[in-house]
Amino acid sequence: MTLSFELYHHEEFVISLTKTLFIMSILKKTFLALPLAALLIASSGCNPNQPASIEKITVTADRASGSLTFIDASTNQVVETLVIPNSEPMYVLYVEQNDMIYVGDRAQNLVHMVDGATRGVVGSISVGNGVFHMWADENGNQLWVNNDIDNTTSVIDLSSHAVVATIPLSVKPHDVFVRANGSKAYISAFSGDPSTPDSIFVYSTTNFQRLNAAAVGKDPHLFHIKKRNRLFVPCQSGEVYVLNGANLNLVNTVAAPGAHGIFSSETDDLVYVTNISGAQLYAMDNADASIIGTPTSTPLNIPHNVTVGNSGTSLYVSHSGAAANQVTVYDLDQNGGIVHNSTLTVGTNPFGITYYERFN
């Protein structure tokens, strides 16, 4: 009995020891495999801690072909075309907060919402008759849309996508610009009389009341620059008015034939303006509100609207016209230099143009 008992427990001990050694062997192999597995996951792009890639896109609103053209700004290659049936796209902009592209459609009195990820239309908002220029604040709160047949401006709440105000104007609105912080909106308007100046109006973004007004040249466009709080107003009558953004007092008037489309550099130190009638581009210094050097000639006529991308190193210009279908791209430097880089084919009559970056 004693021998049998001792043998029994000896066998139990051996079995237990064997199991323990087996488990330790498995654990060792597992721990050794973990770094290799992590390396394989990282190299395959499945690492959950790996930063997402950044998509850099320039978009044109192609008025005559009823489409948007998406350009990969890293390669300057067209990557996609979105056709919106029965549409007349005028202007386009991207709102980062909801990853949405907004397209003003003059033919259907709508603002279409295009998903940034799928590039498909996910909804539309009814606005006034004669959709033209539009702009949103950088916080993604409001989108202001000018309707130049109704002579109104529609204000859209970007969280609900509801029209929260329709502002009547006694004259035809043209361009609109909402300050980056969303505190004020500027609207340019035509007088309707070639012999009298056009106007700039300032509105509250809370009660939508007019706060101030100023007279400027003919066919005025707008761009407010945070640095120095200045409102640049290129007028096709041949001037760029530089106004104090707070009270619309005149800072400077610069002669600039055909001044039309406008956009600022990433640092707000420079301002780029198209000469729509003279096929040129102006670079302006925000510090003294002057034109830098001589204008840069464009290889195509009717340089219309303009945007800046790629960390301020690239300029994109839409060239409009009934049969036009091209965008020109330029390299920029911090001193105001503008050098033609390439010419891209897009949809017919490219009008509005915008640049945006988003995470894939």
pLDDT band (50, 70, 90) for residue 360: confident
Q: What percent of the chain has pLDDT over 90?
A: 85
pLDDT in tens, 51-83: 679 999 999 999 999 999 999 999 999 999 999
312, with CB counted inside 10 A (0-12, 13-18, 19+), is middle
Structural contact between residues 154 and 164, judged by C-beta atoms closer than 8 angstroms: no
Q: Assess whether pLDDT exceeds 70 at residue 214.
A: yes
Q: Residue 50: how many CB atoms within 10 A of its CB?
A: 10
Q: What is the pLDDT of residue 61?
A: 98
What is the structure's pLDDT at 164?
A: 98
Secondary structure of residue 224 in the 3-state scheme: strand
Q: Looking at residue 168, what is its pLDDT?
A: 98
- Does residue 339 surpass a pLDDT of 70? yes
The stretches of the chain forming alpha helices (DSSP H) are 2-43
Is the pLDDT reported for residue 244 higher than 90?
yes
* Percentage, residues of the chain above pLDDT 70: 86
